[in-house]
Amino acid sequence: MKNLLIISLMLGCLLAQTAVQAKATNEVQQEVQQEVQQAIETFLYGASVNDSAAHRAFWSEQLTYTSSSGTRFGWPELAQGFSDAPPLEKSEVTAWYTGENFEFKRFGDAILVNFTLVLTPVDSNEPSQRFYNTGVLQKQNGQWRAVNWNATKAVTE
């Protein structure tokens, strides 16, 4: 009887420890997802105001980008499109980029994110456009950066 009690206590402690570890892992996972989503949202704001620093902070030098038009290129080609002009004022923005429906999958030190990018023209006569984006991000020098990106124009209904 005494042995049964000891075994029961040990199993109870083991189960409690497992539950605590699972909760801690889940909290870390949620924190990482929030960090990645914030990095993407910060980048999308920067892209909206044409801030080249936002691009430099977000895209990794190891980037492979597949555009919605079907072209594939890397960081050097992407960086050629940046200007050293200061970011636009909010009143000068012609379209805002935002993200919706974020989904995350963690793979070791990398995270895969799927989301819908919404391009909303400031001119209300133009319809919004939607793109399905999939990115793989890695934390590099303390910052989440995209190493792979795919954009697909969503079918309008």
- Answer whether residue 67 is part of any domain: yes
Please say if the pLDDT value at position 102 is more than 80. yes
What's the CA gap between 81 and 68, in Å, rounded?
17
- Answer whether residue 119 is part of any domain: yes
CB atoms within 10 A of CB 83: 7
Phi, psi of 125 (to 5 degrees): -80, -15
What's the CA gap between 138 and 148, in Å, rounded?
10
Residue 10, classed as helix, strand or coil, is helix
- Answer whether residue 4 is part of any domain: no
- Rounded to an integer, the average pLDDT of 67-91 is 90
Please say if the pLDDT value at position 60 is more than 80. yes
Domain range for residue 134?
A: 39-153
- Answer whether residue 139 is part of any domain: yes
Q: 29-53: per-residue pLDDT in tens? A: 899 999 999 999 999 999 999 999 9
- Answer whether residue 101 is part of any domain: yes
What's the CA gap between 104 and 39, in Å, rounded?
13
Q: Global pTM?
A: 0.81
- Rounded to an integer, the average pLDDT of 67-74 is 94
Domains of the chain: total:
1
Candidate from 25-34, 85-94, 134-143, 148-157 with smallest mean pLDDT: 25-34
- Answer whether residue 149 is part of any domain: yes
Candidate from 46-50, 84-88, 101-105 with smallest mean pLDDT: 84-88
- Answer whether residue 26 is part of any domain: no
Please say if the pLDDT value at position 98 is more than 70. yes
Would you say 133 and 115 are in contact if contact means Cβ atoms under 8 Å apart? yes
Q: Which two three-digit tokens encode residue 96?
A: 């805002």
CATH number assigned to the domain comprising residue 144: 3.10.450.50
Reading across the β-sheet that carries 95-107, which strands appear in turn? Answer: 72-74, 59-66, 143-153, 129-140, 110-121, 95-107
What's the CA gap between 3 and 106, in Å, rounded?
42
Q: Which two three-digit tokens encode residue 135?
A: 């990115």
Please say if the pLDDT value at position 68 is more than 70. yes
For residue 68, the 8-state DSSP code is T
For residue 85, the 8-state DSSP code is S
- Answer whether residue 30 is part of any domain: no
For residue 122, the 8-state DSSP code is S
Please say if the pLDDT value at position 70 is more than 60. yes
